Amino acid sequence: MPKDTFPEHYRPMLATIGKQPFNNKDWLHEVKWDGYRLMAYVEKNNIQLRTRKNNVYTNRFQVLAHELKKWKHTAVLDGEVVVIDEHGISHFNSLENWYSPNDGILKYYVFDILYLDGKSLLTLPLIERKSLLKKNFPKSEIICHNDYFDGMQGIDLYEKANQFKLEGIISKKKDSEYFPGARTNEWLKIKITQLAEVFIVGFTKRTPESTSFRNLIVAIKDGKQLRYIGLIGTGFTERVYKELTGKLKVVIKCPLQKEIDPNRATRFRKATADIVVWVKPDMKCFVQYSEITNDGVLRHPSYKGLVQ
């Protein structure tokens, strides 16, 4: 790809977390897909696909690169690559395990265009960039235009996303410019979360001398047994740390039906060397989470208080 085609590899502009859905005529709303943020650099037969961290994924998603070669424009696109089920719902775990069309239905939902045929579009208002994107969009079953909804439909879209168990919605100001790599309050991600009651079966701490825990080890009932469902490491205040530390009753034997190693690496966290302490499973807490992965553990768990 010629060096003077694109001034740089653009880092994606990032959204700030929003508290709740809203209606506002100066904004628009989109479905928040659960996949990889992917920047596509398109120039004739030379395609580059780069992740949010600027890793090149062109070989990983050759089927997308092949489709983009059919486009008759030089462009930089911003979107989300996902794997969807038969109902059109994206699943992050399915994408993690996708390496060929046999592994699921791959889609690239494009929601922004930053460069088109020699011209940077970064300073254009979002609504104008979207108009150019739609006008010049390629015909493809794999490369999909990510439709948006009017600003007064934000609450309705959120409720529909919740009904279909989507990850959430993204709300964006219509006149927002694009600042590569920046996090902006003019884009808001409003996530849909779920709440569950789980048993506290243990905790981890950094050293034997630590007086407080790092993560709670939690489980759910599986028949008469307890099955591990993950670690909770966020949502605690100093008061909560003190309250829980004083109530947890340490035991020697693991109370789970199958003993696990909470320190092991997963797709979402690195391996640790924490001290594991088991406790009597006579306390339950509320946990907020986004989904349960194919491995049977909570994704994005956050502590929300004891079940009284």
Shared domain for 233 and 134, answered yes or no, is no
Is the per-residue pLDDT at 1 higher than 50? no
Is the pLDDT score of 203 beyond 90?
Answer: yes
In a domain, 3, yes or no: no
Q: How many domains, the chain?
A: 2
Query: In this structure, are 166 and 216 located in the same domain?
Result: no
Q: Place 308 in a pLDDT band, splitting at 50, 70 and 90.
A: confident
Domain assignment present for 72: yes
Same domain, yes or no, for 80 and 165?
yes
pLDDT for residue 237 is more than 50: yes
- Residue 77 inside a domain? The answer is yes
For the ranges 23-32, 39-48, 157-166, the maximum mean pLDDT occurs at 23-32
Alpha carbon distance 235, 245 (integer Å): 15
Question: Are residues 51 and 166 located together in one domain of the fold?
Answer: yes
pLDDT at 7 over 60: no
Same domain, 91 and 213: no
Name the region of 117 (left: φ>0; alpha: ψ -120 to 50; beta: rest).
left
Q: Does residue 5 belong to any structural domain of this protein?
A: no
Residue by residue, what is the 3-state secondary structure of 19-82?
CCCCCCCCEEEEEECCCEEEEEEEECCEEEEEECCCCECCCCCHHHHHHHCCCCCCEEEEEEEE
Domain of 208, CATH number, reads 2.40.50.140
Coil/strand/helix, residue 236: coil
Q: What angle do CA 92, 97, 100 make, to 5 degrees?
A: 115
Instruction: Average the pLDDT over 236-264 and give the result.
Output: 89
Quickly state the pLDDT bin for 246 (edges 50, 70, 90).
Answer: confident
Average pLDDT score, the chain: 90
Residue 173 and residue 209 in one domain: no
Banded model confidence at residue 149, pLDDT cuts 50, 70, 90: very high
Range(s) of the domain holding residue 215: 194-306
Q: Tokens 């825990």 correspond to what residue?
A: 213
> Both tokens of residue 303?
């502590």
Kindly indicate the confidence band of residue 2, based on its pLDDT and cuts at 50, 70 and 90. Answer: very low
**CB 272, CB 308: distance < 8 Å:** no
pLDDT at residue number 8: 66
Determine which one of 32, 130, 172, 173 is catalytic: 32
- The answer to whether residues 162 and 253 belong to one domain is no
Q: Is 4 part of a structural domain of the chain?
A: no
Residues 110 and 236 reside in one and the same domain: no
Query: 85: burial class by Cβ within 10 Å (0-12, 13-18, 19+)?
Result: exposed
The answer to whether residue 210 scores a pLDDT higher than 80 is yes
**pLDDT tens string 53-69:** 889 999 999 999 999 99
Domain at 144, CATH number: 3.30.470.30
Q: Is the pTM of this model over 0.85?
A: no
Respond yes or no: is residue 32 known to be catalytic.
Answer: yes
Dist. CA 19–CA 6, nearest whole Å: 36
Is 299 contained in some domain? yes
Residue 163 in domain = yes
Q: Are 164 and 117 members of one domain?
A: yes
Task: Dump pLDDT digits (tens) for 124-134.
Answer: 999 999 999 99
- Domain annotation covers residue 9: no
Verify that 163 and 206 share a domain, yes or no. Answer: no
Angle (CA) 87-302-270 rounded to 5° is 85
